[in-house]
Structure 1
Amino acid sequence: MRDFHLHSNYSDGDFLSAMVDAAEVAGLEGIGFADHCNVAPRERMETMRSVYGFNLDLTYERRRRAIERLRGEASIEIYDAVEMDYDPRDEAAIRDFLETAAFDYAIGSVHAVGGANVQAPSQFAGRSDADLDGVVAEYFDRLVALVESELFDVAAHVDLIARTPPLRGRATDEQYRRVARALADSRTVPEINAGRALTDASIVHPADQLFEMLREFDVPVTVGTDAHDPSEIAGRATFLREFVEDAGIDPVDPPELDRSGK
């Protein structure tokens, strides 16, 4: 099995070599470094880039050289990828960067709507039900736009709002079905993301409700541990192996996807 979504010290993860070593011990056949990147020119996003280091657009060539060295030493395949924050206003900048950088594959994700991080419960404290439902609706609007943009090979954690208690359980069947339909019509594939699967919350992306709709529309999936630390890889990889076996599915490899279609 290959893990197509993990992070390194080129964003908010551990050192490249430490992640590779842990993946080898976990028995993985390959891993894809998909470090965070945001190319939005707006002041708030540039501040976040400087604080969190989500600036792979400035460092990808240096990371690529490091990956090439590791490929010569490792016993597993190593993919050179990226995870990009998506905002419809940034489509031209994202497209230009991806065409220039020529990664093995690109992951797109929605982490924020209306200036709020959808993973931060504190940003939704005290809001009304109507307001929270509006946040969820905007999240799915942006997620569908991400898929329809055809900029990315993979859509990350396609129901990320499920991680956040004030937003959890607010998604509707129609919102999930809309995402499934968009993915069925796109070359972009969703991932089974194990980033919160082994926590007390036991959250797997996509949730059962959405996962069954993806199967209904015959949408292929890929897999990712979303690991940021070497200690996370083995347990999450084991979970993913068991998940796909129990579900009877054969995940696709993003580097092998036909860029003109699935």
Structure 2
Amino acid sequence: MRDFHVHSNYSDGDFLRGMVRAAKSAGLEGVGFADHCNVASRERHESMRSVYGFNLDLTHERRRQGIERLRTDFDLEIYDAVEMDYDPRDEAAIEEFLLEAGFDYAIGSVHDVDGRNVQITAHFTEMTEAERDGVVDDYFEKLIALVESELFGIAAHADLLERTPPLRGRATEEQYHRVARAFADSRTVPEINAGRALTDADVVHPSDPFLSVLREHDVAVTVGTDSHRPSDIPERADFLAEFVEEAGLEPVEPDGIDRSR
């Protein structure tokens, strides 16, 4: 069992060593640090970077030094990865950064539509039903563009909308099929993401209807706990192990991992 999606203090998670120690204690064979990063130069994103400190484009070499030290201290695979915010307007900048940085693999995420973070309920409570459906449609168009860009080994929480009550359950089967066809033609794979699986929200990404469509198209999956604290890892890892076993899934490694290291 390998967990390809955790965060550290280089974005919004806990210290590297504590996260690795928790992964080792949980019996994982590998853990991948995929800290948030955004390379957009637009004013809103520049402001968010300064406030939230998602500056892995500036700090990845320092984090890599820490990861290298931990590799000598712990007997498990530790991956040097990144979770990139994706917007089609930033493809050139993302590609340039990923080529320069040389991560083990990259995760791509769609977190916002038209400047609204799709996880914030208040952004959508005053919208009409038609407007909410428009947000859902725009989200999946952006997700398809992410998959077709071939920039990423993993697409994170590919139905992130399900975390948000005004948007939950609004995706159509045709939207799921369109995304699944894009995955089937791409090196990018979706993840089984446990970030909200053990909370009151009780959300597993992808949802059962979406996962059924992905399986219909023979789309491979990988796994990630999306943990931000050491205490997240054991229960989420156990959940994922049980989930994939019951579903009869065999998770794959993301494209880009160098096994000769």
TM-score, normalised via structure 1 length? 0.97
What is the aligned partner in structure 2 of residue 13 from structure 1? 13
One-letter amino acid of the structure 2 residue matched with residue 234 of structure 1: P
The CA deviation at 1:202 is 1.0
Q: What are the Cα deviations for residues 177-227 of structure 1, in whole angstroms up to 9, with x where unaligned?
A: 111010001010000000000011210000001101111111110000000
Q: Would the aligned equivalents of 2:38 and 2:45 in 1 still touch at CA under 8 Å?
A: yes
The answer for unaligned runs of 5 or more in structure 2 is none
What is the aligned partner in structure 1 of residue 62 from structure 2? 62
Pair 1:163 & 2:160 matched: no
Pair 1:49 & 2:40 matched: no
- Give the Cα–Cα distance (whole angstroms) in 1 for the partners of residues 239 and 255 of structure 2: 22
What is the aligned partner in structure 2 of residue 238 from structure 1? 238
- Give the Cα–Cα distance (whole angstroms) in 2 for the partners of residues 127 and 26 of structure 1: 43
The CA deviation at 1:53 is 1.1
What is the aligned partner in structure 1 of residue 104 from structure 2? 104
Q: Would the aligned equivalents of 2:2 and 2:31 in 1 still touch at CA under 8 Å?
A: yes
What is the aligned partner in structure 2 of residue 39 from structure 1? 39
- Give the Cα–Cα distance (whole angstroms) in 1 for the partners of residues 251 and 112 of structure 2: 28
What is the aligned partner in structure 2 of residue 115 from structure 1? 115
What is the aligned partner in structure 1 of residue 29 from structure 2? 29
**Secondary structure at the residue paired with 1:254?**
coil
Mean Cα deviation higher: 148-157 or 247-256: 247-256
One-letter amino acid of the structure 1 residue matched with residue 176 of structure 2: Y
Q: What are the Cα deviations for residues 106-144 of structure 1, in whole angstroms up to 9, with x where unaligned?
A: 000000001100000011121100111100000000000
One-letter amino acid of the structure 2 residue matched with residue 121 of structure 1: T
- Give the Cα–Cα distance (whole angstroms) in 1 for the partners of residues 183 and 43 of structure 2: 32
**Secondary structure at the residue paired with 2:78?**
strand
Pair 1:181 & 2:181 matched: yes
- Give the Cα–Cα distance (whole angstroms) in 1 for the partners of residues 119 and 225 of structure 2: 17
The answer for unaligned runs of 5 or more in structure 1 is none
The CA deviation at 1:54 is 1.1
One-letter amino acid of the structure 1 residue matched with residue 133 of structure 2: D
**Secondary structure at the residue paired with 1:72?**
helix
- Give the Cα–Cα distance (whole angstroms) in 2 for the partners of residues 39 and 68 of structure 1: 25
One-letter amino acid of the structure 1 residue matched with residue 149 of structure 2: S
What is the aligned partner in structure 1 of residue 131 from structure 2? 131
One-letter amino acid of the structure 2 residue matched with residue 99 of structure 1: L
- Give the Cα–Cα distance (whole angstroms) in 2 for the partners of residues 10 and 257 of structure 1: 21
- Give the Cα–Cα distance (whole angstroms) in 2 for the partners of residues 49 and 55 of structure 1: 6
- Give the Cα–Cα distance (whole angstroms) in 2 for the partners of residues 223 and 149 of structure 1: 21
Alignment of 1:223-262 (within 5 A): 223-254=223-254
Residue 46 and residue 256 in structure 1: after superposition, are their counterparts in 2 closer, same or farther (change >3 A)?
closer
User: Number of residue pairs matched?
Assistant: 258
The CA deviation at 1:257 is 6.5
TM-score, normalised via structure 2 length? 0.97
Question: Taking every aligned residue pair, what percent have the same amino acid on both sides?
Answer: 71
What is the aligned partner in structure 2 of residue 217 from structure 1? 217
Q: Would the aligned equivalents of 2:11 and 2:54 in 1 still touch at CA under 8 Å?
A: yes
Alignment root-mean-square deviation, CA: 1.0
Residue 192 and residue 163 in structure 1: after superposition, are their counterparts in 2 closer, same or farther (change >3 A)?
same
Q: What are the Cα deviations for residues 28-73 of structure 1, in whole angstroms up to 9, with x where unaligned?
A: 0100000000000001001111111111000000000000000000
